[in-house]
Amino acid sequence: MLQSIPFSFPTPHQWETFLRDEEPLLNNGRSETFNPTPMKWWVVEAINREVNRCTYTPDKVGHDEWKILKGPSDSGDCEDFALTKMYLLWTCGFPLGCMRPTICNLSRQDKKHMVLSFCTQDETYILDNVAKRIRVEERFTGYKWLGWLEGGVWHPVRHSPDPS
């Protein structure tokens, strides 16, 4: 489970630039959980599936641009996929406080990656453009969680010591 340590680090510049156009997404300062009905869960799955139909195209090094994808023919990188899912879920009435853009490290490739964490009353689910199915956070292997956005502030993850 993701756990916050009692301080935060500055919001990345790309997030601040992105929010000039999408300001309501910055003000998701209230942490919430959500218990979706089967119909609402269908909406979450449909949005995840449709956004994942977009083409993955990495930004040029040094020119990271965060945006909302416009449709299945659009392309973007992992941040664009995660933020588009967050935006579409918000426009469908899901509370912003149950969604968190989350940064991780893909250990197979040793590179940074963004997913969308979706918190229900029982579990935290991960919506990812790499894994096509929505899964419970604990079932993701090969991901090292680094931090998440909540209330316009990035929170680093405190990793539990290895029990071995």
Tens-digit pLDDT profile for residues 45-71: 999 999 999 999 988 877 778 888 888
- Give the 3-state secondary structure of the chain: CCCECCCCECCCHHHHHHHCCCHHHCCCCCCCCECCCHHHHHHHHHHHHHHCCCEECCCCCCCCCCCCCCCCCCEECHHHHHHHHHHHHHHCCCCHHHEEEEEEEECCCCEEEEEEEEEECCCEEEECCCCCCCEEHHHCCCEEEEEEEECCEEEEECCCCCCC
Least confidently predicted of 17-21, 80-84, 95-99, 108-112: 17-21
pTM of the model: 0.80
Q: Please give the domain boundaries of the chain with CATH numbers for all domains.
A: 34-153 (3.10.620.30)
